[in-house]
Structure 1
Amino acid sequence: MSELIVADSDYTSLSTKYKAKGTDLEENLVSYLTLMEAICESAIKDGDVYQNLVSFVEQAKALKGQLENITIGISDKMLAFVDEIDLKDRQIY
C-alpha cells in the first residue's frame, strides 16, 4: 500500500504567505488608485483620455477589498484542508 504524505507545515506556511500577499496587493492597489486619482485631478483634466481614465479608476475601485478577500479565502481553504487531513488521520489511526 502506498502512502500519501501531506506536509502540514507547507500548507500552513503558504497560508500565511497568501494572507500577507493579499495585504500587500491591497496596499499597492490603494496607492495606485491614489496616484491615478491625483492624475485625474491635476494632470489630465479634459478630453477622451480624461474620461477614459476616470472610468478606469472607477472600475479599479471595485477591486478594493476583493484582492485581500480572495487571498484570505485561499488561505482559509488551505488551513481547512490541513484540519480535514488531521481529522481523517485521527479516524484512521
Structure 2
Amino acid sequence: MPLIALLIDLLAFGSYVFQLHNGHSVIYLLGLIIQIIITVLLLIILVGYHGKKYSRFKSEGYSYLSIRYAIIVFSLILNAIMVFFYVLNYLGINDVVFANF
C-alpha cells in the first residue's frame, strides 16, 4: 500500500505540472476535483491499511509510526494541504499554488 500511495502522489504531481503549464479556470477546477479524489483515495488506503502501524521501538509516553504507515499518513496530510491551497487558488483568495510570475 505505501507503493500505491507513492504512485498516487506521482499522479498528483503530474496533474500539478499539467495545470502549471496549461493554466485556465476550467483546468484548475479539473485539478481541484482530481486532487479531492486523490485525497479521498489516500484516506481509504489509510483506513484500510492492515500492516504494522507502529515500530517496535517505544520511548516513554508515545510510539513511533512504522515507515510504511508514515508514508501513507504524510502523503494524506500533504495532499489534504494541497486541496486547501487549490480551493484558495480557485476561489481567488490566494494564488499560492499557481502564482503568475
TM bucket by the smaller chain?
0.3 to 0.5
Question: Per residue, is there more strand in 1 or in 2?
Answer: 2
- Report which of the two has the higher share of helix: 1
- Structure of higher CA gyration radius: 1
TM-score by length of 2: 0.42
